[in-house]
Amino acid sequence: MEVTKYYTLQDMARIGCNDCKGCHACCRGMGDRVVLTPYDVHVLSIQLGLTVDELFAEWLQLTIVDGLLQPSMAMNGVGERCHALDESGRCRIHAFRPSICRLFPLGRQYTEDSIQYFVLEEACPAAQKTKVKISKWVERPEFKEHETFLVQWHAFKKKCMTRMSESDDLDYHRQLLMYVLQLFYRKPYTEGAFYAEFLERLAEAGEILEA
């Protein structure tokens, strides 16, 4: 797909899809593309009152995405429906849905210290889309802080992939994948302290990667 225009959080883009009106096209058949960040998993765990392991047993699937073990929303049964979809095709976790779902039909491109957004032109079939400010679209009061977290998480994942590409030792690859999964996803964060605790863990993992 050729991207002709990039946006920042402060820009308006034509992405408003009239509350989806019965459509759930982007909530099925997505394979492992609805990837969750550590923040998404933390929020799901708090809001659903489930441990991360309980989430993995029902709500999430774990696959290698971009070279790292990462959770994504489980897609089930005929039509590969997202586990969060109810019978009528509504998202049961709409208020605390993952970042990638909040963004759709926008895509993200990472720069050194920020994110550029672009419209996935053919991805959403809604007609007569309205213009919406992107910071409003993501429906997150701390959108800037969250964007900083996403940039840091993306950079860390890239560093892990670089480290693995530098070594043929499959044991090292496996240990690193499991370490990242445990430290950033399975180890619980304190409610209300996610961003601070994420930074602490990032520093800890950074030292291990540099060792």
Q: How many of the other CB atoms lie within 10 Å of CB of 115?
A: 19
With contacts defined by CB under 6 A, how many residues of the chain interact with ligand SF4? Answer: 22
Strands 130-133 and 12-16 turn out to be antiparallel
- Binding mask 115-144 vs ligand SF4 (x if CB under 6 A, - otherwise)? ---------xxx------------------
Amino acid, res. 108:
R
Interaction of residue 17 with ligand SF4, rule CB under 6 A? yes
Candidates 95-103, 112-120, 132-140, 159-167; binding stretch for ligand SF4 (CB under 6 A): 95-103
- Let me know: does 154 contact 110? Beta carbons within 8 Å: yes
Q: Is the Cβ of residue 72 or residue 184 nearer to ligand SF4 in the bound state?
A: 72
Q: Least distance to ligand SF4 from the beta carbon of 161, Å? A: 25
Distance of alpha carbon 132 from its chain centroid, rounded? 21
Q: Which two tokens stand for residue 87?
A: 């019978």
DSSP string of 47-66, one letter each residue = HHT--HHHHHHHTEEEEEET
Q: Is the Cβ of residue 135 or residue 152 nearer to ligand SF4 in the bound state?
A: 135
Binding site for ligand SF4 (CB under 6 A): 17, 20, 23-27, 34, 73, 82, 84-85, 91, 93, 97-98, 101, 104-105, 124-126
